[in-house]
Amino acid sequence: MPDTASYAIGHGTLRLIEGDITRDDADAIVNAANAALAGGGGVDGAIHRAAGPRLLAACREIIADIGHLPAGEAVITPGFDLTARYVIHTVGPIWHGGSHGEPDTLRSAYAQSIARAVEHDLSTIAFPAISTGVYGYPVELAAPVALGVMAEALGTGPVREIRLYLHGKRAFDLWRSTAEAGAMIR
pLDDT in tens, 104-123: 999 999 999 999 999 999 99
Domain ranges of the chain: 7-181
So what's the pLDDT on residue 18?
A: 96
Any idea which fold 7-181 has? Leucine Aminopeptidase, subunit E; domain 1 (3.40.220)
Q: How far apart are CA 70 and CA 65, in angstroms?
A: 13
Catalytic entry in 20, 24, 44, 81: 44
**Res. 183 pLDDT band, cuts 50 70 90:** very low
Task: List the alpha helices (DSSP H) in 67-159.
Answer: 102-119, 139-156
pLDDT higher than 60, residue 186: no
pLDDT higher than 80, residue 182: no
- CA torsion 163-17-34-150 (nearest 10°) is 40
**Res. 1 pLDDT band, cuts 50 70 90:** low
Name the pTM for this structure: 0.96
- Torsion angles phi and psi, residue 60, rounded to 5: -65, -35
pLDDT in tens, 65-111: 999 999 999 999 999 999 999 999 999 999 999 999 999 999 999 99
Residue 44 designated active-site: yes
